[in-house]
Chains A and B, each alone.
Chain A
Amino acid sequence: MRYAMAVDTKKCVGCSDCVVACQTENNVPIGFCRDWVVETMAGSYPQLEIEIRSERCNHCANAPCVRCCPTGASHFDTGGIILVKQNKCIGCGACIASCPYDARYPHPDGYVDKCTFCVQRIRNGMPPACAAVCPTKCIYFGDLDDPNSDVSLVLKKRKFKTLIPEAGTDPKLYFLI
């Protein structure tokens, strides 16, 4: 099983509902976020191109955060999801420095926190909160090893990219272009 997520940059309108849903579902402390929306504007007026992306932890298959963690708190869980064991994390910050996507942050309680693909939901057969609330249904989630999952189907049909593939992290967050 390899969980992955695909975000349709053509359908995303940048409403930030995914961000609020995540903060609510996961009780993210005020002032922090596990996912965020980036808007890229390229070209010059009137030939402008906009790309909107809902970004989060890429749950990389070759994850630098797991590699550099000195205690094994950052680990690969079932389905390749990267989680942090709170009672193993010493809060040294190595994983935060190691992430090229800056997807992690120090939780005010001391441990390091990040997107979990909402494990508590997906283990009960529900999609992650961000995917569930998206008003334009632009977030696809599923198992890459299952050819009939939402994410496999959409990746077969559409062109996609990943962020900073040259960092060698083998990310599992795809952007449909």
Chain B
Amino acid sequence: MKEELFVSGRINHLVDPYLNIWHWQIPLYLFLGGMAAGILCIAALYYLRGREKDYYTAVRITPFLAPILLVLGLVALFIDLRHKLYFWKLYTNIRLQSPMSWGAWTLMVITPVSFIWSALHIRDIFPRWDWKYKWIYEIEKFFNKYKRALAWVMLIYGIILGIYTGILLSAFNARPLWNTSILGPLFLASGLSAGAAATLLLSKNPAERKQFARIDLVIIGIELFLIIHMFMGYLASTQVQIEAARMFLGGDFTMSFWIFAVILGLLVPALLEILELGKVHIPAVVPPVLVLFGSLMLRFIIVHAGQVSRWLY
């Protein structure tokens, strides 16, 4: 038997009895940022491959969501800061070893890019849009000329944004649940599937919908593989990671993770999409809404459970 106790009574707020420093803001941002990354990556990819006509919604309409999601995410991040007036210090420093610094600078690039991309397509939503000033038309002309370059920036920074949301957590050696490099690819895949779900919700073109249901299915398959792989990794690792995995294999997070994130968020939408591709009528909003819900739950559960997981000494 071994028992440890703080005889001096350490009860630091938000640190004891278990870490609780990050609340709803961080997982919400990870979800919004990941979804925006997915939307922008898909739009840039299909634009660069010249499929703009086939996947009109994905390339020109869904990206309107991205700046909204990113701004909401940034607001959530700002609310999370405890020393708010100093937030600008993020942009007077470049810290290559800090994933959060990478993220801040990535957002600095991709948020304006997402606004420009939406502005270039504003007439798809408001056909009689007028920029009022001549110089704005000049800027529009400039970006239209270099639209391919813009799409490349969007694709590359979209991937960085999607992966970074996972790496942000996996860089913390102190929290064994997060300390796995699978989280980067897993969150990227989850973001891409949320991005595909957004197009599924907005598109009215059956051919495009079919294609995006297929994309979603493939990504859900990848996510399931990554989740299984993640748990294999934990169970084959050190005691602290075995303990971390146990939180999901019989511990406190078992029900929420497997029911909300895996069954409702991955397996049920995958099944519904298979049925839909097999010509069974399914209400169109159900699979993408479940995918978005699962993607959000995945972040909430991983962020919360990760803070509970710890080294034992």
Contact = CB atoms under 8 A, between A and B. Distances in A.
B279 interface: no
B90 to A, nearest CB: 6
B84 A105 contact: no
Nearest to B239: A166
Interface stretch (B14-22, B44-52, B209-217, B261-269): B14-22
A166 B313 CA distance: 11
B4 A39 contact: yes
Interface in A49-94: 52, 64, 67-73, 87-94
Interface residues of A, number: 50
Identify whether the interface residues of B are mostly helix, strand, loop, or mixed.
loop
Interface in B1-45: 1-16, 19, 21-22
Nearest to B2: A42
A168 interface: yes
A167 to B, nearest CB: 6
A1 B261 CA distance: 51
Interface stretch (A28-36, A134-142, A143-151): A28-36
B99 interface: yes
Interface string B82-116: 11101101101101011111011000000000000
B203 interface: no
Contacts of A98: 171-174
A95 B3 CA distance: 27
A67 B98 contact: yes
Contact of B83 (A40, A72, A110): A110
B60 interface: no
Given A70-B93, A97-B172, A97-B307, A91 B238 contact: no
A43 interface: yes
A99 interface: yes
A9 to B, nearest CB: 13
Contacts of B81: 90-92
B1 to A, nearest CB: 6
Nearest to B16: A102
Given A37-B7, A37-B8, A68 B100 contact: yes
B175 interface: yes
B14 A163 contact: no
Identify whether the interface residues of A are mostly helix, strand, loop, or mixed.
loop
Contacts of B84: 90-91, 110
Contacts of B7: 14, 16, 37-39, 52
Contacts of B137: none
Interface string B136-158: 00000000000000000000000
Contacts, number: 154
A100 B13 contact: no
A104 interface: yes
A41 B165 CA distance: 40
B89 A73 contact: yes
Contacts of B10: 33, 36
Nearest to A45: B1
Contacts of B172: 64, 68, 97-98
A105 B12 contact: yes
A164 interface: yes
Nearest to B89: A71
Given A36-B10, A38-B6, A87-B86, A70 B1 contact: no
Nearest to A37: B8
Contacts of B175: 97
Nearest to B1: A44
A169 B173 CA distance: 10
Interface of B: 1-16, 19, 21-22, 80-84, 86-87, 89-90, 92-93, 95, 97-101, 103-104, 171-175, 238, 307, 310-311, 313
24 contacts: A19-B8, A33-B10, A38-B6, A39-B4, A39-B5, A41-B4, A68-B171, A70-B93, A71-B89, A71-B92, A72-B93, A89-B89, A93-B21, A97-B175, A99-B174, A102-B12, A102-B15, A105-B13, A105-B15, A106-B15, A106-B82, A109-B83, A167-B311, A168-B173
Please give me the 8 A-B residue pairs with the lowest Cβ-Cβ distance, nearest first.
A91-B82, A91-B83, A110-B83, A70-B100, A100-B174, A36-B10, A105-B12, A70-B101
Given A39-B4, A110-B84, 13 more contacts: A14-B7, A33-B8, A42-B2, A64-B174, A68-B97, A68-B171, A88-B89, A91-B81, A92-B100, A96-B15, A111-B83, A164-B313, A167-B173
